């Protein structure tokens, strides 16, 4: 199934037009109108309204979410929910460029790299770094270990390795210049890194972390991420039951369980 997220200026107007064109995409909530759909996403969910298991082409289903453009930018810049921002820590295909979103995404990638560097030991490999980055948005996710594949992060890294390398090449180059992240040239096989956690890097993620001892710093950081992801994943799980409806939720959940148990 292909996943899409549409960032729109006015979700109410977007849903109004989409309900007119594709009413069958919606669950029973569609009868409540576009304002109610947007309220479910904003107040009950994590800001994204999903229609799932939508037939698109022969033998192809899609799942698409609708998010307010301003909310997407806030998540990329401030990790308000890590729902969209976490997905965009991994390679995505951008269908239409938007300058402000592109700038916010660069901030999001740099933040993910900072956090991963703070969570890793002083010496690590490239795969360790990419695994730490991809794991951020799953820390605290209520689905992990239940309906979600517990090996999802390693599979994402192995399946998107070149895309991840390309995605993080610019922020990693900046890290080498500014935060003293070094790649030893001799005897490392091109895959060993040393991070001297510069004070500037620590201050970029908060004064409390900058002042903490390394082990306490990692605990604080993991707790903060766990709280953000946990809250948004619980909210989105509840809203997903409503937006998909019982039949689609059961079908989608069963497919997830089968994949997780394989």
The per-residue pLDDT for range 208-256, each reduced to its tens digit, is 666 667 788 788 889 889 999 999 999 988 888 888 766 565 555 545 5
Distance CA 241, CA 247 (A): 9
Higher pLDDT, 184 or 93: 93
pLDDT (0 to 100) of residue 194:
62
Sheet holding 60-68, edge to edge: 2-8, 60-68, 48-57
Question: Is it the case that residue 192 has pLDDT exceeding 80?
Answer: no
Between 9-18, 79-88, 147-156, the lowest mean confidence (pLDDT) is in 147-156
Contacts of 192 (CB under 8 A, 6+ apart): 123, 124, 125, 183, 184
R_g of the chain, CA atoms, integer Å: 20
Based on the number of CB atoms within 10 Å of its own CB, is 93 exposed (0-12), middle (13-18) or buried (19 or more)?
exposed
């Amino acid at each position: 199934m292909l996943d899409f997220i549409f960032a729109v200026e006015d979700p109410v107007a977007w849903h109004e037009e989409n309900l007119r064109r594709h009413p069958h995409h919606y669950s029973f909530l569609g009868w409540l109108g576009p304002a109610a759909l947007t309220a479910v996403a904003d107040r009950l969910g994590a800001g994204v309204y999903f229609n799932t298991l939508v037939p698109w082409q022969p033998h192809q289903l899609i799942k698409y979410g609708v998010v307010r453009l301003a909310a997407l930018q806030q998540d990329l810049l401030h990790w308000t929910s890590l729902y969209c921002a976490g997905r965009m820590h991994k390679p995505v295909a951008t269908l239409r460029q938007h300058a402000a979103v592109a700038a916010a995404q660069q901030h999001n990638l740099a933040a993910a790299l900072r956090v991963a560097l703070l969570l890793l030991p002083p010496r690590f490999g490239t795969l360790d770094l990419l695994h730490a980055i991809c794991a951020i948005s799953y820390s605290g996710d209520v689905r992990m270990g239940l309906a979600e594949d517990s090996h999802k992060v390693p599979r994402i890294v192995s399946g998107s390795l070149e895309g991840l390398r390309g995605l993080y090449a610019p922020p990693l180059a900046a890290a080498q210049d500014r935060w003293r992240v070094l790649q030893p040239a001799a005897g490392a096989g091109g895959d060993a890194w040393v991070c001297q956690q510069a004070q500037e890097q620590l201050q970029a993620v908060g004064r409390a972390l900058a002042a903490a001892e390394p082990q306490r710093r990692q605990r604080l950081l993991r707790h903060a991420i766990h709280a953000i992801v946990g809250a948004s994943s619980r909210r989105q799980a509840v809203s997903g039951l409503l937006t998909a409806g019982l039949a689609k939720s059961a079908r989608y959940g069963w497919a997830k369980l089968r994949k997780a148990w394989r």
